[in-house]
Chains A and B, each alone.
Chain A
Amino acid sequence: MASAIAPANPTAAPEAISGIEAMRGVGAQRARGFWADAWNRVLRMRTAVMALVWIGSVAVLAVLAPIIANAQPLWLEHLQPVARGDQAYSPLWRSLTATDLLLLFGSPIAVLAMWLPMRTPRSQRLAALIVLSVLSILAAAAFQLFTGWIDAPGRSERVVELRSWMRTPSEWWRPIALAYALMLPLGAVATLLPFTRSWWTRALLVIAVLAGVAMACGARSTASRTNYDAIVMSEARGEIRTVSTLVPWSPDRTRSELILVPPLRTVAQAFDEKLERLTESVDRAKLAQARAEAAGRRVDAMRAEDDQRQLARQRSQLETEWRRIEQTSFAGRRFILGTDSNGVDVLSQIIWACRLSLSVGFVSTGIALLIGITLGALMGYFGGWVDLLLFRVVEIFMAMPVLFLLIVAAGVLPRNTYVMMAIIGCVSWTGAARFTRAEFLKLRGQDFVQSCRAVGLPLPSILFRHMLPNGVTPVLVDASFAIAAAILAEATLSFLGLGPDDQASWGKLLASATGQTGTFLWWLAIFPGMVIFLSVLSYNVLGGALRDAIDPKLRKAAH
């Protein structure tokens, strides 16, 4: 019997420990936090994992869009020695904008910072990353505004002087220094935000991030427009050799010869089909002319002759164009998902539009959460007249029809992404506010909130550090659905032709599915529609999974 009490091998882990031993810390393991636990439960749901994979691939495509889908060659080599410029270089790298650079370098750093095991807890790292990325977005936008302002025509002498000082080609550091100086006030504000414990870590991070942003912005302070066809032509002349990207098309590369090419055709096939169609048309015109002449209808015959001549001219033009590019790599390029009515590759547009969709979804929901949580927290914590007053504001916003407001705003305000994000965010915060209010009403009477006050914590700490994590779960679930709604709103606006006009968008592609002649172009409906559908579905599934993982009642029912 004694052997049953004393384990035979004391070093081996005991099978079971008593409560008393547990109290003494035997077999104690580091507990996972609430969020880590919830996240693990989300990852156990297959649909949620699939949704995460989809959202993750959209995010990867959004970041890597300029490398994956670009009409600029990845590498360009001059076959003959050149007098000026580089013998071999990457036109793609030179064409990257400051935003592309920031995304390409910032995202891997952010992913590493989240995944590498570090002493700082993950939640704190996430908070720091969020603050720093918002800071870099604001800094980059501020510099863009600044360059836009000094480059605009009709500026004063001094501004023109500044412009030429900044753009002296030999002094490459000047725009970077200027960008850094411009961003410092923002950095000072960001240092004051308590996103890590010690102020010097904050200052260090802010300085590093701003240096990166300044380098990216300063190095790309002038946008260079490249002529895609020039490269194709010099390749045709045998001057250069190029290596192109995976999808060798950009959303801004249009060619009038390549309108409405169905999926999986190469450029050569597209030209062939077009030539064939033109030949047929010429033949048909010839036939019509012959018939008209036989019937003695002179006017019809003349019109048919005109048609025929015009078509023949078109055909010969197309043919000479074809002869010029026949031998280049361009002729072998494939439109995997076809082209739209502007002759732009659909796949490249879908890839680039991931950026718009993601940024609209997250930024507008972020704005909505910021407003909603702050107001909801105040309403719930204070109650009384604060609640009474603010809830009326909530009701006013709930009564607004978002889509009509967006349509009106798109008509009146400048049509760009930022305005759209701001509007969607500013009208869709009511859900977050109501959920936060309800949670805070429940939490404010709880003992730990009382004990927070008794410890002497200041109000922001009580509200946002202690109460918010306990009441944020329904808000998060709501946010997941709100992202889906924002993506849909963007798609709807673009479908109606009211989206940002300088960017590829899934909704815009969808809108061109019915051609001007009323024909249904299936590839323009199915592929963008599928992407929109999958994205919205993913966010909804994720929201549902998050709710299931967090809700203790559902969790108990599942077991």
Chain B
Amino acid sequence: MGAEPTRAHGSAAGERPLLDVADLAVSFDNTSAPGAPRVQAVAGVNMSVFTRQTLAVVGESGCGKSVTAMSAMQLIPCPPGRYDRGTILFEGRDILSRSEREMLDIRGGKIAMIFQEPMTSLNPVYTIGDQIMEAVLLHQKVTPREAFDISVKSLEDVGIPKARERMEAYPHQFSGGMRQRVMIAMALACRPRLLLADEPTTALDVTIQAQILELLKQLQETRDMGMMLITHNLGVVAENADVVCVMYAGRVVEYARVFELFDRPLHPYTRALFASIPGVRDSKHRLTTVDEVVNDPAQFRKLPGADRGVVAWWPFMPADARPALMPGRDEYALHQIEPGRWVGCWRTEEIEGNPSPRPELTFRRSSAGAGSDAASGAGAAVPSAGAMRRSPAGTQ
């Protein structure tokens, strides 16, 4: 099984990914004690984002989601941090080998980022207009007057009323939701190719959260942009993502199309995540914890090919339950279990003998049809306007 069948599986054969993270490993100096081992925040991550696609990266705190996103902009502070290995191809060129000067153009210009905390992400001493215009002037060859118009337009795009007057307002005059809109306007004013949204709605209340995500979805469609959505919220994933990447301890444990993942999670950890969501109709005294699922050896046997030696990777698996590994190699490998589905596995002889292609899924919700089949209680609703806009784009 080579790379070709996987590519063919996508809707547009041969489409190049916008962002292609390959075997990325990032570690940090542990300054707590001299001579302490480095902290391996990311240990060999693979993922890819295509234009107009939303890749959701989920996982618990500290699993390396944000570090992966920050690496895509070379924003990891180095000395404490270090890029150990791997490449991050953006539009076909490696981000990590670029100089700081080249990165200044890419940051904000081609790749933009939205942060978690809208309350503190804006500089309190400058007006909204100043801050958006600075980014526009930096990345686009325009006069200040044109930059002003672009900024007003981008504020209007994110749904801020009276945008022209609001250009003169300071961040403290805005509510959290409006500040996040301003952040989005700032990020999108330069029409980036890729948007890294690092928990863009965590600090907002649920109604604003829905508005912001809807807005991001719309803007992504109209602007032909790829998006990496980092979140803890599986509901957000179900509603917005095209492809999901579940991470744990700096590694990808599962990588699949959103509907397939929600329908049939393969890795025990993913199953545990779903099991821990309280349902409205279940009556339980205690919620199922992740530990309960992943400590159950039976869960690991459910993986297709478990009898052949394809065992899901889990760092806390007892030594006697682990399969025989390839000596001298990394214990972990991202394996394609079936077409379009990847699961992090122990590197056994079976897996070493059947090398699998790197995870690449060009899937987008609309091109897969109505998308209602896999909604599976998560209430996934595809915006109809978005779908209509999408169809002519697909024929081009």
Listed in ascending order, the chain A residues whose CB lies under 8 Å from chain B are 23-25, 28, 30-31, 33-35, 197-198, 384, 446-448, 450-458, 461, 465-466, 469-470
Of B122, B123, B139, B144, which is within 8 A of A456 by CB? B139
Is B134 within 8 A of A457, CB to CB? yes
Q: B163-171, B287-295, B336-344, B376-384: which lies at the A interface?
A: B163-171
Is B123 within 8 A of A457, CB to CB? no
Q: How far is the CB of B110 from chain A (nearest CB, A)?
A: 9
* Neighbouring A residues of B120 by C-beta, 8 Å: 446-448
Q: B54-62, B101-109, B244-252: which lies at the A interface?
A: B101-109
* Neighbouring A residues of B124 by C-beta, 8 Å: 34, 448, 470
Of B112, B113, B121, B144, which is within 8 A of A448 by CB? B121
Of B117, B126, B165, which is within 8 A of A447 by CB? B117
Q: How far is the CB of B311 from chain A (nearest CB, A)?
A: 39
Task: Give Cα A201 to B32, complex, Å.
Answer: 52
Is A25 within 8 A of B105, CB to CB? no
Of B108, B117, B125, B144, which is within 8 A of A198 by CB? B144
Given A23-B178, A456-B106: 4 more A-B contacts, CB < 8 Å = A35-B125, A384-B79, A451-B121, A457-B135
A453-B107 contact given A23-B161, A24-B161, CB 8 Å threshold? yes
What residue of chain B has the Cβ atom nearest to residue A448's Cβ?
B123
Of A35, A447, A470, which is within 8 A of B121 by CB? A447
* Neighbouring A residues of B172 by C-beta, 8 Å: 31
Considering only residues 178-200 of chain B, those with a C-beta below 8 Å from chain A are 178, 183, 186-187
Q: How far is the CB of A142 from chain B (nearest CB, A)?
A: 33
Is B121 within 8 A of A456, CB to CB? no
Is B123 within 8 A of A466, CB to CB? yes
Is B109 within 8 A of A456, CB to CB? yes
Of B79, B121, B125, B175, which is within 8 A of A469 by CB? B125
Task: Give Cα A455 to B131, complex, Å.
Answer: 10
* Neighbouring A residues of B186 by C-beta, 8 Å: 451, 455
What residue of chain B has the Cβ atom nearest to residue A455's Cβ?
B108
* Neighbouring A residues of B73 by C-beta, 8 Å: 454
Report the contact-size class of chain B (Cβ under 8 Å from the partner). 35 or more
Task: Give Cα A33 to B187, complex, Å.
Answer: 24
Whether B274 is near chain A, meaning CB under 8 Å from some CB there, is no
Is B113 within 8 A of A454, CB to CB? yes
Is A24 within 8 A of B115, CB to CB? no
Listed in ascending order, the chain B residues whose CB lies under 8 Å from chain A are 73, 75, 79, 103-109, 112-113, 115-117, 120-127, 134-135, 138-139, 144, 161-162, 165-166, 168-170, 172-173, 175, 178, 183, 186-187
* Neighbouring B residues of A25 by C-beta, 8 Å: 161-162, 165-166
* Neighbouring B residues of A23 by C-beta, 8 Å: 161, 175, 178
Q: How far is the CB of B88 from chain A (nearest CB, A)?
A: 15
Is A452 within 8 A of B123, CB to CB? yes
Is A455 within 8 A of B107, CB to CB? yes
Is A448 within 8 A of B122, CB to CB? yes
Q: How far is the CB of B144 from chain A (nearest CB, A)?
A: 6
* Neighbouring A residues of B112 by C-beta, 8 Å: 454-455
How many contacts A-B (CB < 8 Å)?
A: 94
Is A28 within 8 A of B162, CB to CB? yes
Q: How far is the CB of A86 from chain B (nearest CB, A)?
A: 52
Task: Give Cα A340 to B230, complex, Å.
Answer: 78
Task: Give Cα A469 to B183, complex, Å.
Answer: 20
Is B75 within 8 A of A450, CB to CB? yes
Task: Give Cα A23 to B178, complex, Å.
Answer: 9
* Neighbouring A residues of B108 by C-beta, 8 Å: 454-457
* Neighbouring B residues of A31 by C-beta, 8 Å: 127, 168-170, 172-173
Q: How far is the CB of A453 from chain B (nearest CB, A)?
A: 6
Q: How far is the CB of B67 from chain A (nearest CB, A)?
A: 13
- Chain A facing B: main interface SS: helix
Task: Give Cα A465 to B113, complex, Å.
Answer: 20
A sample of 20 inter-chain contacts (CB < 8 A) reads A25-B161, A25-B162, A25-B165, A28-B165, A28-B166, A31-B173, A384-B79, A447-B121, A448-B124, A450-B75, A453-B107, A454-B75, A454-B112, A455-B138, A456-B105, A456-B108, A456-B109, A457-B134, A470-B123, A470-B125
Is B104 within 8 A of A456, CB to CB? yes
* Neighbouring A residues of B169 by C-beta, 8 Å: 28, 31
Is A30 within 8 A of B168, CB to CB? yes
Is B106 within 8 A of A451, CB to CB? no
Q: How far is the CB of A154 from chain B (nearest CB, A)?
A: 52
What residue of chain B has the Cβ atom nearest to residue A30's Cβ?
B168
Kindly list the 9 A-B residue pairs having the minimum CB-CB distance in the complex, ordered from nearest. Answer: A456-B107, A456-B108, A25-B162, A455-B108, A454-B113, A447-B121, A447-B120, A469-B125, A448-B123
Task: Give Cα A523 to B13, complex, Å.
Answer: 97
A456-B103 contact given A451-B121, A470-B124, CB 8 Å threshold? yes
Task: Give Cα A454 to B187, complex, Å.
Answer: 9
Q: Which of A448, A456, A457 has the most CB of B within 10 A?
A: A456
What residue of chain B has the Cβ atom nearest to residue A385's Cβ?
B79
Q: How far is the CB of A474 from chain B (nearest CB, A)?
A: 15
Q: How far is the CB of B80 from chain A (nearest CB, A)?
A: 9
Task: Give Cα A469 to B127, complex, Å.
Answer: 13
Task: Give Cα A25 to B75, complex, Å.
Answer: 36
* Neighbouring A residues of B170 by C-beta, 8 Å: 31, 33-34
* Neighbouring A residues of B104 by C-beta, 8 Å: 456-458
What residue of chain B has the Cβ atom nearest to residue A37's Cβ?
B170
Q: How far is the CB of B120 from chain A (nearest CB, A)?
A: 4
* Neighbouring B residues of A469 by C-beta, 8 Å: 123, 125-126
What residue of chain B has the Cβ atom nearest to residue A19's Cβ?
B175
A24-B162 contact given A456-B105, A456-B106, CB 8 Å threshold? yes
Is B115 within 8 A of A33, CB to CB? no
Task: Give Cα A318 to B232, complex, Å.
Answer: 99
* Neighbouring A residues of B175 by C-beta, 8 Å: 23
* Neighbouring B residues of A461 by C-beta, 8 Å: 134
A455-B121 contact given A23-B161, A24-B161, A25-B166, CB 8 Å threshold? no
What residue of chain B has the Cβ atom nearest to residue A26's Cβ?
B162
Q: How far is the CB of A39 from chain B (nearest CB, A)?
A: 14
Q: Which of A28, A198, A384, A448 has the most CB of B within 10 A?
A: A448
Is B109 within 8 A of A197, CB to CB? no
Task: Give Cα A34 to B187, complex, Å.
Answer: 25
Q: How far is the CB of B111 from chain A (nearest CB, A)?
A: 8
Task: Give Cα A469 to B124, complex, Å.
Answer: 9
Task: Give Cα A447 to B121, complex, Å.
Answer: 5
Of A451, A466, A470, which is within 8 A of B115 by CB? A451
* Neighbouring B residues of A453 by C-beta, 8 Å: 75, 107
* Neighbouring A residues of B75 by C-beta, 8 Å: 450, 453-454
Task: Give Cα A197 to B139, complex, Å.
Answer: 15
Q: How far is the CB of B232 from chain A (nearest CB, A)?
A: 18
Task: Give Cα A469 to B178, complex, Å.
Answer: 24
* Neighbouring A residues of B125 by C-beta, 8 Å: 33-35, 469-470
Q: Which of B115, B123, B134, B175 has the most CB of A within 10 A?
A: B123
* Neighbouring B residues of A458 by C-beta, 8 Å: 104
Q: Which of A452, A453, A458, A465 has the most CB of B within 10 A?
A: A453
Q: How far is the CB of A310 from chain B (nearest CB, A)?
A: 74
* Neighbouring A residues of B178 by C-beta, 8 Å: 23
* Neighbouring B residues of A198 by C-beta, 8 Å: 144
* Neighbouring B residues of A197 by C-beta, 8 Å: 144
Task: Give Cα A499 to B107, complex, Å.
Answer: 54
Is B183 within 8 A of A451, CB to CB? yes
Task: Give Cα A265 to B139, complex, Å.
Answer: 72
Q: How far is the CB of B134 from chain A (nearest CB, A)?
A: 7
* Neighbouring A residues of B126 by C-beta, 8 Å: 466, 469
Q: How far is the CB of B136 from chain A (nearest CB, A)?
A: 10
Task: Give Cα A458 to B109, complex, Å.
Answer: 13
A447-B115 contact given A31-B169, A33-B125, CB 8 Å threshold? yes
Task: Give Cα A24 to B165, complex, Å.
Answer: 11
What residue of chain A has the Cβ atom nearest to residue B169's Cβ?
A31
Q: How far is the CB of B179 from chain A (nearest CB, A)?
A: 11
Task: Give Cα A450 to B198, complex, Å.
Answer: 12
Task: Give Cα A24 to B159, complex, Å.
Answer: 11
Q: Which of A384, A448, A454, A469 has the most CB of B within 10 A?
A: A454
